[in-house]
Homo-oligomer: A and B are copies of this chain.
Amino acid sequence: MRIGELAELAGTTTRALRYYEAQGLLPARRGANGHREYDQSDLRLVSEIRSLTGIGFALEETRPFLDCLRTGHPTGDSCPASVAVYRRKLAELDELIGRMSAVRERLRDQLALAELPFTTPVCPTSAGSDLDHGDNAEDPDR
């Protein structure tokens, strides 16, 4: 099949496919007229790329999965390199979720405070720099 068809089947664009090729992720055979020629295995590769990037993987991170598929493995994550990416990504995700949850807490508290009609606007006596009178005193920086 040609690039347009593959793009449609994979639910992406020809531009994206050419980009993947330029990144060395999706080498393409060429027909006599110079047109790129793809088959089902390429559709499989593109699907792998799409599903991985779809859940937050960078393009570069999909490479091990593609190599894995290309070397005949049944799934892209059947290889150690892919599993390593999984592990790393999972750790990143946990880190990110943790930070975002902390922000969420702070935000929730701030929202609650900000929604109070008219309580303690310029509240005297209490030195006003302690807006973290909640629970956490951890990790002041970063």
Contact = CB atoms under 8 A, between A and B. Distances in A.
Interface of A: 55-56, 72-75, 77-78, 82-83, 86-87, 89-91, 93-94, 96-97, 100-101, 103-104, 106-108, 110-111, 113-115, 120-122, 142
A115 to B, nearest CB: 6
Nearest to A113: B77
B56 A103 contact: yes
- Stoichiometry, as copies per complex, reads 2
A57 to B, nearest CB: 10
A55 B86 contact: no
A103 B110 CA distance: 28
9 contacts: A55-B106, A55-B107, A56-B103, A73-B122, A86-B111, A90-B104, A90-B142, A93-B103, A97-B100
